[in-house]
Structure 1
Amino acid sequence: MAEEDYYAILGVDREADATTIKKAMQYHPDKNPDAGDKFKEISHAYDVLSDPEKREKYDRFGAGGPGQGGDDAYGFGFGGGHDDPTMDFFANMFGAHLSAYVACIAKRARRRTRGEDIKFPLEVTLEELYNGTTKHMPIERTEVCGGCSGKGGKRGPRTCKACQGTGTIVREQRMGSMVQRVQSTCRKCRGEGKILLEKDRCKKCAGRGIVKASKKLEVHVDKGMREGQRIVLAGEADQEPEVPAGDVIFILEQKPHAHMERRGRDLWTDVTVTLTEALCGFSKVLLVHLDGRGIAVTQSPGQVIRSGDVKCIKDEGMPEYRRPFDKGDLYVRFFVQFPEDGWMTPANAKRLESMLPPRPPASAPTPEHLEDCQLMACSAETAEPQEDADEDMYTDDDDDMDHGMGGGVQCAQQ
């Protein structure tokens, strides 16, 4: 049974617009309610072609397709062509229409459901991780063309007539008594199923539906964030027509700090005090914190500080991420700065010694033979072990002897 051609029934071209279809129905010569079946046929054709969604399905799958009153209870229409060779079974059993519709569904399923994510490194200081900050980051990306709303042209792409919108062409080849179906990508639409006419192309995007654009993204770095933590800006990646955009992801990279080191939720820093402060105590601003506050500390006299001592200041470490009032601890490692040589007279030395703890008694008997020596200042470089010059001399002599012996052996061999 021949398939109904709704365009022929209304007497319009397949490219006719909505106004032309409406006029064709309005002035159709057979538009007479008393005409019975003929009137119903015209009315049904107009009902399909005047509805953009029904018309698109009809153009793709024919009168028996989904939404056109086809017989398939599950909504599988019967258009033309298919996109998968395995659909030949359905085409042979139920006709090419079923295979085309199933192929179209498979093609849609293969389309990307989401754009790709874009990742950028974001350098931050320890101060910014402590206090939180907002950065404005410029990026280059593609955006849906505003001139054509991503359609590529004013009217958008039209259904390819060659493949009926399936993107594939199915040809039958006879091999004796056998009939083989061969599937290939439609050359006219390059497998897209739609064609954009040259005259309809958008001048702004040249028919691509997307344009290059620059945008500044507002990136919020919260208090307590860490090295390697990701900040996700949903849907801010490259845009494509009919595809949700991916995310822009910023990965935090902490710059080295001059005075502080982060260890998890704690902070570590080094502080140098004078010998006087180490012995007699102090009351002063020990350091300036990452938020600009001065950390004032009082150390009582007699509470001696030694080089390498580590002291803890509670609740002055890094804030917890999303719990900024919960903080770690601040650890201070002390170094004692001794005075330069010659700062004290012999008389003052005796006075100072009288105030210091007594010298320790001799713990071992004095040897019978003593050698008077002197301590001299030196650097770490001069303290490195050096090769002995005499050892080099012996090595050179050994080499000479080896060469001589080698020559004798050669003569003996001759």
Structure 2
Amino acid sequence: MGIDYYNILKVNRNASVEDLKKAYRRLAMIWHPDKNHTKNKSEAEAKFKQISEAYDVLSDPQKRQIYDLYGEEALKSGQVPPPPPSSSGRGYYSNNYYNNNQQQHPNPNFRFNPRDAEDIYAELFGGSDGGGGGSGGGRRFKEGYFRNNVNGGESSGSGSSVKKAPAVENVLACSLVDLYKGAKKKIKISRTVLDSSGKIRNVEEILTIEIKPGWKKGTKITFPEKGNQEPGVIAADIIFVVDEKPHDVFTRDGNDLVMNQEISLLEALTGKTVELTTLDGRNLAIPVMEMVKPGDELTVANEGMPISKDPRKKGNLRIKFDVRYPSRLSAVQKSDLRRVLGGS
């Protein structure tokens, strides 16, 4: 029998027109290329086209009669297959039927003319005049008629225009550790959707965001059409914009990490080992051998933030020194300093 249209729509063979509509609406909401956001876009388009063809055949009494009697090939070719050798009288190709009807097509003038997938979708979801013409004003599947235009809307060949709701932006607060190591955040949203019957209902959904090492403040993550659904309006995109929480030790400057380090005057003159814990939990001991003047900066290569385009590479760590002078010196200390530094 070829393609099993009943199985495609998940209905039984006695399904009414209303049953077919409900089944089509439910599956179209899953596989419509504008609603389905799987990585395999071609699979969604093929599934949606198959669903539309199944509904087209089973909702048309004449097409359904020929399909039920002879199958898909006969429906599309217009040629009645020969009767099978069995005389059991059971199944779609019943010998009794052939004997009684002399193996003639129920309607010799019938020509299979499939309706456009978008015309069907528009008819059942209220996006067109509802006439459901076979080759009228709908957008063509082969021409990629599900693509949104650059102005954020969709238009059909019939001249109607479907507006897309403005994008909704939300702040995604991330710690510097999240942006250094990468993280996964799950965010619960509440939105309105159209069910298979076209009614609006509230649902909750979990959106998962994979934060990549090295992402910067201002990075945007877009979830297409995850906003509220309303009749006649394409749902808004939801956009999360990365923001950076302050860190106790480090600040970020591009791909570099910057930290302030206060040292005493004695340490500035005689040297010091700066000890710190990195954002990924490593303990570093950085020796400062040269004399440090106020405002000096020490650069430690490859200890900054990961570079998002190549996380194996990192920026630098920059240590800015602030020399802490003593609040007072005794006469003896001053004398000792003059003796030690006087000849310098």
TM-score, length-scaled by structure 2: 0.53
1:43 is aligned, of 88, 103, 107, to: 107
Q: Could you tell me which residue of structure 2 aligns to residue 141 of structure 1?
A: 191
1:226 is aligned, of 204, 213, 216, to: 216
Contact 1:310 1:334 in 2 (8 A): yes
User: Residues 296-336 of structure 1, C-alpha deviation per residue, up to 9 Å, x if partnerless?
Assistant: 11123xx2111111121111111111311111111111011
- The number of aligned residues is 229
How far does residue 213 in structure 1 lie from its aligned partner after superposition?
Answer: 1.0
Q: Could you tell me which residue of structure 1 aligns to residue 45 of structure 2?
A: none
Kindly provide the amino acid, as one letter, of the partner of residue 173 in structure 2: E
Contact 2:194 2:230 in 1 (8 A): yes
2:312 is aligned, of 325, 342, 347, to: 325
Query: Partner of 1:340: helix, strand, or coil?
Result: coil
How far does residue 131 in structure 1 lie from its aligned partner after superposition?
Answer: 1.8
1:289 aligns with 2:297: no
Q: Could you tell me which residue of structure 2 aligns to residue 248 of structure 1?
A: 238
Gaps of 5+ in 1: 1-13, 27-31, 67-74, 77-81, 83-104, 153-207, 360-414
Query: Partner of 2:162: helix, strand, or coil?
Result: coil
Distance in 2 between the 1:296 and 1:266 partners?
Answer: 19
Could you say which structure has the larger radius of gyration? 1
Distance in 1 between the 2:313 and 2:231 partners?
Answer: 46
TM-score, length-scaled by structure 1: 0.45
Q: Could you tell me which residue of structure 2 aligns to residue 124 of structure 1?
A: 174
User: Residues 196-247 of structure 1, C-alpha deviation per residue, up to 9 Å, x if partnerless?
Assistant: xxxxxxxxxxxx4331111121111111111111112345334468987654
Kindly provide the amino acid, as one letter, of the partner of residue 327 in structure 2: E
Contact 1:136 1:218 in 2 (8 A): yes
Kindly provide the amino acid, as one letter, of the partner of residue 192 in structure 2: T
Q: Could you tell me which residue of structure 2 aligns to residue 298 of structure 1?
A: 287
Gaps of 5+ in 2: 1-16, 21-57, 70-99, 124-129, 138-155
Q: Could you tell me which residue of structure 2 aligns to residue 112 of structure 1?
A: 162
Q: Could you tell me which residue of structure 2 aligns to residue 309 of structure 1?
A: 296
How far does residue 45 in structure 1 lie from its aligned partner after superposition?
Answer: 9.8
Contact 1:116 1:238 in 2 (8 A): no
Contact 1:143 1:240 in 2 (8 A): yes
- The 1:241–1:33 alpha-carbon spacing in structure 2 relative to 1, beyond 3 Å, is farther
How far does residue 291 in structure 1 lie from its aligned partner after superposition?
Answer: 2.4
**Structure 2 counterparts to residues 129-208 of structure 1, below 5 A:** 129-145=179-195, 150=196, 152=197, 208=198
Q: CA RMSD in A?
A: 4.5
Q: Percent identity?
A: 26
Contact 2:250 2:258 in 1 (8 A): yes
How far does residue 264 in structure 1 lie from its aligned partner after superposition?
Answer: 1.4
- The 1:270–1:60 alpha-carbon spacing in structure 2 relative to 1, beyond 3 Å, is closer
Distance in 1 between the 2:257 and 2:160 partners?
Answer: 51
- The 1:116–1:44 alpha-carbon spacing in structure 2 relative to 1, beyond 3 Å, is farther
**Structure 2 counterparts to residues 7-26 of structure 1, below 5 A:** none
Kindly provide the amino acid, as one letter, of the partner of residue 282 in structure 1: K
